[in-house]
Structure 1
Amino acid sequence: MERAGVSLSVTDHAGPGAPVVILHGLAGSSLEMEETARSLAPRRVLIPDARGHGASTRRPADVSRQAHVDDVVHVIEALAGEPVTLIGQSMGGHTALLVAAARPDLVERLILLEAGAGGDGTAESRIAMRAFFESWPRPFRDRAEAQAFLGDSALGRAWAADLREESGGLWPRFDVDVMIETIAAVDERPAWDEWARVTPPTLVVFAADGMFDDAARQALAGRRPDVVRVDLAAGSHDAHLDAFPQWSEAVRAFLADDGRRSA
Structure 2
Amino acid sequence: MERRWFNRGGERLSYLVSESAGPTVLILHGLAGSSNEMIPTAEALSERHVLLLDQRGHGESSRKPADTSRAAFVADAVALIELGSTGPIALIGQSMGAHTAMLVAAARPDLVDRLVLLEGGEGSGDPKTNARMGEFFASWPVPFATVEAARAFLGDGPLESAWASDLERREDGYYPRFDSDVMVRVIDAVAVPRWSEWESVVAPTLAVFAENGLFTQDAKAEFVRRGRKVQCAEIAGASHDAHLDSFDAWIALVKEFLGEESHASDA
TM-superposed deviation, 1:167: 2.9
More strand per residue = 2
TM-superposed deviation, 1:49: 0.2
Distance in 2 between the 1:127 and 1:57 partners? 22
The amino acid that maps onto 1:102 is A
TM-superposed deviation, 1:183: 0.7
TM superposition score normalised by structure 1: 0.96
The answer to whether the Cα contact below 8 Å between 1:21 and 1:47 also exists between their aligned partners in 2 is yes
Q: Which runs of 4+ in 1 moved over 3 A?
A: none
The amino acid that maps onto 2:132 is A
CA offset digits 1:162-182 (Å, max 9, x no partner)? 101103110011111111111
Question: Which residue is equivalent to 2:251?
Answer: 248
Question: Which residue is equivalent to 2:29?
Answer: 24
Question: Which residue is equivalent to 1:39?
Answer: 44
Question: Which residue is equivalent to 1:8?
Answer: 13
The amino acid that maps onto 2:213 is G
Look up the SS of the partner of 1:219 in the other structure: helix
TM-superposed deviation, 1:219: 1.0
Higher mean C-alpha deviation, range 163-172 or range 93-102: 163-172
Distance in 2 between the 1:221 and 1:259 partners? 22
The amino acid that maps onto 1:29 is S
TM-superposed deviation, 1:190: 0.6
Higher mean C-alpha deviation, range 237-246 or range 76-85: 76-85
The answer to whether the Cα contact below 8 Å between 1:203 and 1:230 also exists between their aligned partners in 2 is yes
1:164 aligns with 2:175: no
CA offset digits 1:83-128 (Å, max 9, x no partner)? 110000000000000000000000010000001100x211210121
Look up the SS of the partner of 1:196 in the other structure: helix
Q: Which runs of 5+ in 1 are unaligned?
A: none
The amino acid that maps onto 1:171 is Y
1:216 aligns with 2:216: no
TM superposition score normalised by structure 2: 0.95
Higher mean C-alpha deviation, range 129-138 or range 64-73: 129-138
Structure 2 matches for 1:127-146, cutoff 5 A?
Answer: 127-146=131-150
Look up the SS of the partner of 1:208 in the other structure: strand
**Which of 51, 64, 80 lines up with 2:69 in the alignment?**
64
Please tell me the root mean square deviation across aligned C-alpha atoms, in Å: 1.2
CA offset digits 1:38-62 (Å, max 9, x no partner)? 0111211100100010000111110
Question: Number of residue pairs matched?
Answer: 259
Distance in 2 between the 1:56 and 1:228 partners? 33
Look up the SS of the partner of 1:33 in the other structure: helix
The answer to whether the Cα contact below 8 Å between 2:201 and 2:228 also exists between their aligned partners in 1 is no
Distance in 1 between the 2:260 and 2:61 partners? 34
The answer to whether the Cα contact below 8 Å between 1:202 and 1:259 also exists between their aligned partners in 2 is no
Distance in 1 between the 2:142 and 2:263 partners? 47
Question: Which residue is equivalent to 2:3?
Answer: none
Distance in 2 between the 1:201 and 1:93 partners? 14
Question: Which residue is equivalent to 2:261?
Answer: 258
Question: Which residue is equivalent to 1:175?
Answer: 179
**Which of 111, 115, 129 lines up with 2:116 in the alignment?**
111
Distance in 2 between the 1:234 and 1:114 partners? 14
CA offset digits 1:66-96 (Å, max 9, x no partner)? 0000000000001112111000000000000
The answer to whether the Cα contact below 8 Å between 1:109 and 1:259 also exists between their aligned partners in 2 is no
Look up the SS of the partner of 1:101 in the other structure: helix
Summarize the Cα distance change of 1:101–1:259 in structure 2 as closer, same or farther, 3 Å threshold.
farther
- Give the share of equivalent positions with the same residue, in percent: 50
Distance in 1 between the 2:34 and 2:86 partners? 23
Look up the SS of the partner of 1:146 in the other structure: helix
Q: Which runs of 5+ in 2 are unaligned?
A: 1-5
